[in-house]
Structure 1
C-alpha cells in the first residue's frame, strides 16, 4: 500500500484510475491497484478503449464470436466496451458495497451524439441496460445539448458522470441539470439514495490552452501566470459546488435521500514537463472529491506526492479569493476566457469523436 496514496484517500479524495482494458481485468492488475494503490473507481473514454482494443489480443475471441452471429461493427464495439465495464464493475463491487459512492466504472455515450439530445438519452439508456450494474456511471458530455440529457437520465434513475466540463457557467448549468433530474426522479418514485453522479471538471487542458496564449502575449506579467489558470479554475468550481449543495433546493432533496454530485478532477496528467508531475493532484486536495488519474500520474504520486505528517493537506478550502485574482489577472493581460472555454469544449468533443472513429476502424480491421 502506498502511504502517500493512502494519505490522499484519508484526506477524503477518492482515487480513480483513468484507464481500463481487458488485460487489466483478466490479469488481476485492476484488483492489485485496488489493493495496493487505494484505487476505488475507474473512468474510461473513447481514447482509452481505442488504445485497449488496438493493443490487446484478448478481444479477438469475442470479435470472432460476434462476427459469426452477423454483428455489424457498431454492435461489436458496443459489446466489447460494455463487457469490459461490466466486468470492471464486478471487480469493484466489494468497494461499492462498502462505499456506494465509489466502486464506480464509467462508460461514455458515443461522442458523435454530443450535440443531439434525444440520441444521447437513448444511448445512455441502452448503455445502462447493457452494463446492468448498480455501480456503473454513464458519461454524458456537458454540451448545451447534453444538459437536458443529463436531467432525463437522472430522472430515469441512471447514475451519470458528466464529462467535458471546462468553465464555471457551464458547471453551474450541470449542477442545475442534476438537481432537476433528482426532482423529477423523486416525483416518479425513484429511490434517490441509489442515484449517484460526478461532475468531471477538466484541469490540465485549461493550462495547455491558456499557456499557449500567454506565450503569444509574451510579457513578463503573462509569463508569470503560466501554469496557474487550471488550478484556479478548478478551485473556483469547488467553491461553486459548495454553494449549490448547501442551499434550500438541495436541502429538500437531501432530506429525501439524495446524494451530492461530487466534483471529479479529470485530465490530471501534467502536459507540460516543466510542471511537477503531481501538480493537478496535490493542488486539488479536498474531502468529498474524486481525482481520476492516468496510471503514470498515480505512480508519480505514490512515489513522491507531498504528504504532511502522514496526511495530505487540504489545498482547496479557502482559496477562492486567490483563485479569482488569478482569473482576473489573466483577463487583464488579454486572455479571453470565454473563447478559451469554447475552444476546449469543441476540441474535447472532436478528440473523442476521432478516438471513437479510431476504435471503430480498429474493430473493423479485426472483424476481417
Structure 2
C-alpha cells in the first residue's frame, strides 16, 4: 500500500490531528460523564479537550435527572440557585478534567483541558471577572482547566491579571481581528508580569476562541439586504476569510521579538481556537468550518453533530489556511466594498454573544431555583 493510500485510508479525525489541529468537544454534561460517552470520544474520536459555556450548562442541568440528588441536598441546606449551579458546574468540570489528565500530562501545547466560564453577567466587570476566575480555578482544583473570560474591553485587563496570577485562560467571544490582536497582547502582558515578578511560566496556557459561523450568519444577512449581484456572491465567504486573517495575525504575533523573548523563557503559544463551527445555514456544507480552517497549532471545538459529520465524510486535504492569506484579505475587502460595515457587524456579534450567554445563565438559575423550591 502506498503512503498516499495509507493517508487516504485514515479517518478524517485522525488526519485532522495529523495536521496539528486539536479536536475538542463543544459540550459537557453529567450524562456524558456517567454513561462513558466522553471517555469513548477520547478513545475513539481523537478528542483532546472540552469546552463549555452557559448555554451548554443550561441545557445539561435543566434537562437531566442526574442532578436531582444534588438538588435535594442543596434544598436541605437552603442553598441559593447560584451556589447550587456553581457546585454542579465545578463538579462536572472537575470530573472531566480527571478524564483528560493523561492527555494534559503529555501535551506539548496545553491540550487535555476543560473550560469553565465566569458568570456572563460579569462580562463588563473587570474586577468581578478577575475575582471569579481565581475562585473557579481554586474551587475546581485541577491544573488542566481553562477559565473562560470574554474578549470584551473590560475582559482584556482581566485576562492579563488572570494570566499573571498563573491561571490558564480560554478567551471567548472573539469576532474581530483587531480585538484578537488585543487579546494576544493581553496574554503576553500577563506572562511578562509573571517574569517581572520572578515567577514561572510553567503550566500556563491559553487559547483564543475566534467565533466563525456566527460571522457568516450576521454578514450574510447584511449582504442579502444590499442585494447586488456582487453582495450575494459573497455569501458564506466572510467567516472563513475572517478566521484565516486571524491566523495571519497569529503568525505575525509569534514572529515578533517581544514574543520570542517570552517563548525563550518557556511561554506556550496562545493557540487560535475555532469556535461556533457548526454550520448555521443548511445550504452550506456541514463541515465547511472544519475542512476550510485546517492549520497547525489550532484548535477546532465542535458540537457532537459536527464531530460526527467530520468523522463521516469530511475531506481533509492539508493546510487550508496559510495558502489563502492574500485571498482571504481580498474577500474581506470585497465584503467591505459591497457595503458591509464589518466593524459594526463584529460589535453586534460581541454584544449579542454576551447577551445570549447571560440569558442562558439567568434561565438556568430560574430553573434551578424552581427545582430547589419544589424539593423543600
Q: Residues 44-89 of structure 1: CA distance to partner in whole angstroms, max 9, x if unpaired?
A: 0000000001111111111211222222111111111011100000
Is the partner of 1:178 in helix, strand or coil? Answer: helix
The answer as to whether partners of 1:41 and 1:103 remain within 8 angstroms in 2 is yes
Residue equivalent to 2:43: 35
Unaligned runs of 5+ in 1: none
Shift of 1:220: 0.8
1:243-254 alignment, distance < 5 Å:
243-254=252-263
Deviation at 1:165, TM superposition (A): 0.2
CA distance in 2, matches of 1:183, 1:340: 33
- How many angstroms apart in 2 are the aligned matches of 1:206 and 1:156? 33
Shift of 1:189: 3.1
Unaligned runs of 5+ in 2: 1-8
1:93-146 deviation digits (Å, cap 9, x = unpaired):
111112151101000000010001000101101110111101000000000000
Answering whether residue 222 of structure 2 is matched by residue 217 of structure 1, we say no
> C-alpha deviations, 1:332-356, integer Å up to 9, x for none?
1100111101100000000000000
Equivalent residue number for residue 239 of structure 2:
230
Which residue among 194, 197, 205 is the counterpart of 1:196?
205
**What displacement does 1:2 show?**
7.4
Question: Is the counterpart of residue 111 in structure 1 residue 114 in structure 2?
Answer: no
C-alpha distance in 1 between matches for 2:298 and 2:88: 30
SS at match of 2:271: strand
- Normalised to the residue count of structure 2, the TM-score between the two structures is 0.95
On the 8 A contact 1:85/1:131 being kept in 2, the answer is: yes
Query: What pairs up with 1:294-313 in 2 under 5 angstroms?
Result: 294-307=303-316, 312-313=317-318
Structure 2: how far apart are the matches of 1:223 and 1:248? 42
Q: In structure 1, what is the Cα distance between the partners aligned to 2:33 and 2:45?
A: 15
3-state DSSP of counterpart to 1:318: helix
RMSD: 1.1
Note if contact 1:2-1:36 (Cα within 8 Å) is conserved in structure 2.
no
TM-score w.r.t. the length of structure 1 is 0.97
* Residue of structure 2 in register with 1:80 after alignment: 88
Deviations 1:292-334 (A, max 9, x none): 0000000000000003xxxx41100131110110011011110
CA distance in 2, matches of 1:11, 1:330: 30
Residue number in structure 1 paired with 2:342 = 337
Instruction: Tell me if 1:173 matches 2:182.
Output: yes
Give the Cα–Cα distance (whole angstroms) in 2 for the partners of residues 160 and 315 of structure 1.
Answer: 27
> Does 1:242 pair with 2:251?
yes
The equivalent position to 2:105 in structure 1, one of 87, 97, 106, is: 97
Tell me how far apart the structure 2 counterparts of residues 246 and 219 of structure 1 sit (CA, whole Å): 40
Equivalence for 1:360: 365
